[in-house]
Structure 1
Amino acid sequence: MLSRAVIRISEICSGAGIAVSAALLVYIVVHIILEIILRNFFASSTNSMGEYVGYATGAMAFLAMGHTFMSRKHVRVSLLRRFLRGRAAIAVELFCVATTFAMFAFMARYIWLILVRDFLRGSVSPGLTATPTWYIAAAIFAGLVIFLIQLVASALDTVIHGVPEEHIEGE
C-alpha cells in the first residue's frame, strides 16, 4: 500500500525530471544554433549562451538522476554483488542505497540553504543578464529531491522484491 504509493510517486517525479531534462537539452541545442547563426551571419550575439547553457546543463544532470537510477542506467560497480545472493545481497544493496541517500541528503540540505539565502538576498549572477541565482539552486535541489525519493522507492522495492538481476547491455 504505502510502498506502492511511494514507488508510484517516485516514478511520476522521475518522469517529470527526465521530461524537463529532455526539454533543457532541446533548449541547449537551439540556443547554441541561434548563437552560431547570430555570430556568423549577423555579427551579433545573445550574450547569454555560455551562462544559460551552463545552468541548463547543471539542471539537466541533476533532474535526470532519479530516472537514471530508476532505469538502472547509472554507473554501478557490482563486482561484490555478483558473489552475493539472498539476504546478503539485499543487505549490501540496502547499505549502498542508505549510504547514497545520506550523502545526497547532506548535499540537498546545503543546496536548500544556498537556495533560501540567495532568494532572501535577491542574489543575481555576475553575468550580463543578472539571472537570480536561486533559479539554479532550485533546479539542482529539485533534482536532488527526485533522486532521494527514488532512493527510498528503491529501498522499499528491494525489501519487498529483493535485488533485481543485473542486465548488462552487450552481453
Structure 2
Amino acid sequence: MRRTLDRLYDAAGYLAALFLVGILVTIVIQLVCRILGVTFEATEAAGFCMAAATFFGLAHTFRAGSHVRITLTLDRLPRHARRVVEIVNCTVAGVAVVFLSWHIIALMVQSYRFQDVSPGLLAIQFWIPQAGVALGVTLFATALLDELVSMLRGHTPSYDSDDESLPFE
C-alpha cells in the first residue's frame, strides 16, 4: 500500500509539472499569434492549468516536505510534545481538506449536471478543470490522512526536514 500511495503522490507531482508546461505552451502560442496579428485568447486555459498544477502539486510537495512550515515553536518542544502537536496539526488539516474536497467534488458534479461553461472565447465546460482541482485536493486529503495514520503508528513525519528517521519514542 505504501508503494502505491507514494507512486500516486509522485504521479500527481508529474501532472502538476505537466500543467505548468501547459501554461507555458498557452502563453507562447498567444505571443506568437499576437506577433502574427492573429487573435488567440486562451487566458482561461492558462488559468485552468494553473489551478490544476496547484492542486495536483499539493500532495507531492506535502510528502516531500516542501510546504512552508513555521517551526519556531515546534522545534523548541520536547520530542513527545512535538509528536502531539504534529498529530493535532495533521488531524485539523486533514479534516479541513476532506471538507474542502467534499465540496469541490460537489461543485464539479453540479457543474456537470448543469453543463456550465466558462464565459470566455473557448467556452470550456467548467467540470473539466474542476475535475483536476477535485482530484488534486482529494489526493492532498489522502496524503494528510496517510501521514496522520503513520504518525499515530509512531513514525516520524515524512515531511520533517530533520535527518532523524527514527520513530517517535
1:92-126 Cα deviation digits (max 9, x unpaired): 10100011111111111111111111111111111
Distance 1:163 1:127, change over 3 A: closer
Using the size of structure 1 for normalisation, the TM-score is 0.87
Identity over the aligned pairs, expressed in percent?
24
Match of 1:44 among 38, 43, 48: 38
Tell me the CA shift for residue 142 of structure 1: 0.5
Count of aligned pairs: 161
CA-based RMSD = 1.7
Tell me if 1:161 matches 2:147.
no
Using the size of structure 2 for normalisation, the TM-score is 0.88
1:62 corresponds to: 55
User: How many angstroms apart in 2 are the aligned matches of 1:64 and 1:154?
Assistant: 16
| Amino acid corresponding to residue 79 of structure 2 in structure 1 | G
2:6 corresponds to: 11
- Runs of 4+ residues deviating >4 angstroms: none
Match of 1:138 among 105, 128, 131: 131
Q: Compare relative contact order (CA 8 Å, sep 6+) and give the higher one, 1 or 2.
A: 1
1:31 corresponds to: 26
| Amino acid corresponding to residue 83 of structure 2 in structure 1 | I
| Amino acid corresponding to residue 15 of structure 1 in structure 2 | D
Match of 1:148 among 138, 141, 165: 141
| Amino acid corresponding to residue 71 of structure 1 in structure 2 | A
User: How many angstroms apart in 2 are the aligned matches of 1:30 and 1:54?
Assistant: 13
User: How many angstroms apart in 2 are the aligned matches of 1:23 and 1:163?
Assistant: 28
Tell me the CA shift for residue 167 of structure 1: 4.2
Task: Indicate if the aligned counterparts of 2:101 and 2:141 stay in contact, CA closer than 8 A.
Answer: no
Tell me the CA shift for residue 156 of structure 1: 2.4
Task: Indicate if the aligned counterparts of 2:16 and 2:54 stay in contact, CA closer than 8 A.
Answer: yes
User: How many angstroms apart in 2 are the aligned matches of 1:163 and 1:55?
Assistant: 32
What residue ranges of structure 1 are gaps of 5+ in the alignment? none
